Chain A
Amino acid sequence: MSGFCVGLQFENSCEIGVFSKLTNAYCLVAIGGSENFYSIFESELADVIPVVKTSIGGTRIIGRLCAGNKNGLLLPHTTTDQELQHLRNSLPDQVVVQRVDERLSALGNCIACNDHVALTHTDLDRETEELIADVLGVEVFRQTIAGNILVGSYCAFSNRGGLVHPHTSIEDLDELSTLLQVPLVAGTVNRGSEVIAAGMTVNDWTAFCGSDTTATELSVIESVFKLREAQPSAIVDEMRKSLIDSYV
């Protein structure tokens, strides 16, 4: 069921990863976008995982404020009680929703995680780090990416692959790849934007990118996150429909 959606815009902005959060167990979407925005998410995901419309702390930049995976969801202290309750009600029971009292409240910018490993901002509190390990069930590493401490912004990774800031050196790529145990590639999204996680959102079987993403960027994303069917014959079969062998 690999799928791929492109051409997404949230009110004329191509920064999909700012207004949505996608994991293997749920998908959060910001309120206030056009119906087209939700319908694309819903058409891809609705029968598999819940798509929940929400705000966090009254804002719509939910993708950058929260961090989560299939085990849990971490919210900043600015989250209101109603929002917290709404999320607890809407998400599956096995997802632990936890509000974190952390000075660095843009958790989505500070934490990048999949279901097994998390990379965090170097200045994160020790209590928060323990909470991440507890709630999300991951191993936590304090890292930088291409010299940037906002690891949550400059990389996006799933359980199958990851995309990092284009200026990441080869040594860093190797080191991160060993930590995360997934293949990594340095690239851009949304026509050269380095802020990977703001421009796209991904889980194990599908990814959503902003509409400015070029075909080259798309093919890199498809290959590193292993979104296309792996067998080469699938590609040929698809191409065959558009190839004209002969004119009668």
Chain B
Amino acid sequence: FAPYIQVEYIAVMPRKPTSRGMLQNPPPSTFSRFARSQALIASAYRSKRKINKSKFYKKSRSNFSGNGFENHASDENSEQAESSDEDFDGVVQADFAFFDPKPSDFHGVKILLQTYLDEKQWDVSGFADLILGQTTVGTVIKVEDDEDDGVYSVVTALNLGRYKARNKFCTISLSQPAANHDHKCIEEIKEFLRKSCKEEDIMNNLRSYLGEQAQDVGLLISQRVVNLPPQLLPPMYDALFDEVSWATEDEPTEELRNSFCFKYYLLISRIYKHKSADQQKRQKSDEAIVYVKPEDEIFHKVPTFTEVSHSSASDSFNLHLSSAPGPSVSICALSSLYLMRQEMLKDYQLMGLVMAVEASKVQ
């Protein structure tokens, strides 16, 4: 459903939620693109409550047991989240299942990718198609038996050197070889990264990752709704790296097998960096960097990595998440959970974070 429908005055919301993913937001109160993209990310959990009046539930946080994969060709792996309360506004049972990406997941995946490159207008649809086309490596998390088929998270690794556009017809000019340029979306991602890189020494590394070494680089895409239970993250990443190693053995052609032998993973993500770099100005309890996604902290700390930090090109970075009600960022250290409120984030600046991590260190 178009994300900007005014909710207050429509007499009756359509009873059956649409199949276009779960991220229906209340309209943001500002025109700033940044505020809107934040609202899109941060208010997903609130819209969950509004969506299905017949089942009003909050996300459950209880522990659940994970099953390993039965065999690496299997599609699904259920994670049970138990309910501690059957009551109306208690927690609800939600069975999350891991699926291989399918073309029918297009809309849900596209919504999750909308803010991947900040506010830049780019070929998100083509990118979603690439992800869904790669069924051997990549996982989509959905709720089992969900009538809307909403996509809650997508995780995959795309080889940067693999996706070349193929022209169906011969080029007119015979002097040029048949098209060997990247898919438009991959081109746009590379362009975005090149433009955001400010430091010269990192630029050289980046250029090689995007250029000659592209065959060894995997773009690690991990997008999810803000309130996805953090207990799902370890099995999700385990699944991804398992699939990558299985792909290096199972893919039909040698070319494909080699394409999954990644030397590096490239991640594009977001962090909140404290505005004053000086330690004394900050309160003792304030962290220098707050990670939007907790696994980024782990990737960041992996030794020998390259970091490119970029601020988004758009305006106003003061975190006026007033359009997103409630806690704006949820951070989970994998063993404990705490929520940060908007006031605590007022000293932080949202920045993009791009990391290149050596594959051997994470697998």
Contacts and interface: CB of A to CB of B under 8 A. Distances in A.
Contact of B1 (A32, A76, A104, A198): A198
B10 A59 contact: no
B4 A106 contact: no
Contact of A106 (B3, B5, B121, B122): B5
Interface stretch (B12-20, B60-68, B353-361): B12-20
B49 interface: no
Chain B residues touching A, range: 20 to 34
Given A61-B2, A61-B6, A212-B125, A104 B27 contact: no
A103 B106 contact: no
Interface in A178-210: 191-195, 198
B3 A103 contact: no
Nearest to B4: A61
Chain A contact residues: helix, strand, loop or mixed: loop
Interface in A27-43: 32, 34
A65 B14 CA distance: 17
Given A59-B27, A198-B1, A198-B2, A9 B11 contact: no
A115 interface: no
A195 B18 contact: yes
Contact of A148 (B14, B121, B122): B14
A34 B122 CA distance: 12
Contact of A34 (B1, B3, B12, B121): B121
B88 interface: no
Contacts of B33: 11
Interface string A1-43: 0000000010111110110000000000000101000000000
A195 B2 contact: yes
Nearest to A61: B4
B139 interface: no
Instruction: Give 10 closest A-B pairs by Cβ, nearest first.
Output: A105-B9, A15-B2, A198-B2, A61-B4, A18-B2, A12-B121, A104-B11, A123-B11, A212-B125, A106-B6
21 contacts: A12-B119, A13-B2, A15-B3, A17-B2, A18-B5, A59-B4, A65-B6, A103-B11, A105-B6, A106-B10, A148-B14, A191-B125, A192-B19, A192-B107, A193-B20, A193-B107, A194-B18, A194-B19, A195-B1, A195-B18, A212-B125
Given A103-B9, A104-B9, 5 more contacts: A9-B121, A15-B2, A59-B27, A61-B5, A198-B2
